Structure 1
Amino acid sequence: MAKSARTRQRILDAAAHVLSRKGFAGTRLTDVAEAAELQAPAIYYYFPSREDLIEEVMWSGISNMAEHVQEQLDALPPDTSSLDRIEAAVEAHLRYQLEISDYTTAAIRNAGQIPDNIRVRYSAEANRYGDIWRKLFQEAKREGSLRSELDPRAARMLVLGALSWAAEWWNPRRGSLDQVIRTAKSIVRAGLSTAPEAETAAPAPQRTRARKTAKAAG
């Protein structure tokens, strides 16, 4: 990679770090320059304005997330069930958002803060990412894996909203990411699947047989 390309990447990395922590309103080019170990005027050689820099970070964050989640899904065996695929997407989303990428954390935290003039490219990429999840829920609906009372769109938006909100509250000092992922996968499966109803109903005959056995023994 050429020196100019490395410098541009360093600026982007620094901007993602600052944006993920200080938000759109609090991100200053002086902070970005300090994190990138550059003089602030040097940033204008690579990005015409603060807004152009933030737009690139926001777009990269959601684009990279979409690529990561799709790669994880593509790596699954062809016969993987729809709910297992949704679980895999849950883990990929959380791990990328909270552990791998400042860009994605910045994009998710600031999606509602950026002005319309730099939202267009981000929104198009966010829709592409949404399509990945839309297909997952459509597959689950076709398989009959979703509970009958669920609206697939509402369920999808609620799941994605909950996953994205983790960027606001998760603190590695108060619980491991693996614990968060296990909990999220369990909640999502229990909330979507028809299986919990069957599992809840199953113990009743066992209790009946146990009572009969106790009476016979008495």
Structure 2
Amino acid sequence: MPQAASPKPRARPAPKWRRRAEARPDEILDAALAEFTARGFEAARMEDVAKAAGISKAAIYLYFSSKAALLEALIEAKVGTLAQQMQSLALAGHADPLNAMRMIATMAAHRLSDINLLAVPRLVISISGRFPEIAEYYRTHVVEKARGALEALIDAAKDKGAIRAEVDTQAAARAFIGPILFEALWTHVLKGETALHDPQKLIQQQFDILLNGLEQRA
């Protein structure tokens, strides 16, 4: 009598969902921002961030060596990209610096309407006294890049005669940045009514005041 064939082993069903390795850093950063915002940077623990991201505590250290490194990566991902975009627009806009400045202002106003973007500088400001190295990282990787891009455009506009030669470049850059930052803080921190629903209208008014002033002239 022939021997019956052994039943073939059942194939293990493929998992319905598999985490993509390349997506993990983004997921960790999103989880970190939520934890840092809810608990505060000092109280938040790496294991809590790992749990929120769906990975083990050991696995999170494969991507980020410390909470400080995690916050620096958050700065780069959430705010550093804005500074890089400003640099790119400034480099491409020297032929028409005032138009490039309008493009930067409009882009910044749209980006700052996102409360998650503003959460990072708020966090850095809140811990800057206790973690000066984080404040220094933010200053060199975000603020100085953005300010340098604006100052280069202002100098280019002065060279072309579009802005008066006696205008102080650094003061003009601060006058440019201030209204947009105030609007974001007013809306997201102080919960005031927003003009960011219509960023273009806000920027048009800002440039009218910045370039033409408030004083009535004959």
SS in 2 for 1:145: coil
Shift of 1:153: 0.9
Contact (CA 8 Å) 1:90, 1:181: kept in 2 or not?
no
In structure 2, the residue matched to 1:7 is 24
In structure 2, the residue matched to 1:177 is 196
Superposed, 1:100-115 pairs within 5 Å as: 102=116, 104-112=117-125, 113-114=127-128, 115=131
Contact (CA 8 Å) 1:30, 1:40: kept in 2 or not?
yes
Q: More displaced, 148-157 or 50-59? A: 148-157
* CA separation of 1:151 and 1:174: change in aligned 2, threshold 3 A: same
Superposed, 1:42-81 pairs within 5 Å as: 42-72=59-89, 80=96
Q: Which has the higher contact order (CA 8 A, sep 6+)?
A: 1
Q: Distance in 2 between matches of 1:7 and 1:55?
A: 16
Q: Distance in 1 between matches of 2:135 and 2:213?
A: 40
1:186 lines up with 2:201 in the alignment: no
Contact (CA 8 Å) 2:35, 2:48: kept in 1 or not?
yes
In structure 2, the residue matched to 1:117 is 133
* CA separation of 1:27 and 1:51: change in aligned 2, threshold 3 A: same
- Of all paired residues, the percent bearing the same amino acid is 23
| Count of aligned pairs between the two proteins | 194
SS in 1 for 2:103: helix
CA RMSD of aligned residues (A): 3.6
Task: For residues 12-51 of structure 1, give each alpha carbon's deviation from its aligned partner in whole angstroms, at most 9, with x where no partner exists.
Answer: 1222345467664565546534542445554334222212
1:95 lines up with 2:110 in the alignment: yes
Shift of 1:73: 5.4
Shift of 1:64: 0.7
Shift of 1:174: 4.2
Q: Distance in 1 between matches of 2:167 and 2:48?
A: 46
In structure 2, the residue matched to 1:161 is 178
* CA separation of 1:125 and 1:22: change in aligned 2, threshold 3 A: same
Q: Distance in 2 between matches of 1:93 and 1:124?
A: 19
SS in 2 for 1:170: helix
Output the TM-score relative to the length of structure 1: 0.67
Shift of 1:59: 2.9
SS in 1 for 2:198: helix
SS in 2 for 1:118: helix
* CA separation of 1:116 and 1:137: change in aligned 2, threshold 3 A: same
* CA separation of 1:142 and 1:19: change in aligned 2, threshold 3 A: farther
Shift of 1:125: 1.6
Gap runs ≥5 in structure 2: 1-18
* CA separation of 1:195 and 1:105: change in aligned 2, threshold 3 A: closer
Q: Distance in 1 between matches of 2:78 and 2:210?
A: 28
SS in 1 for 2:61: helix
Larger Rg: 2
Gap runs ≥5 in structure 1: 203-218
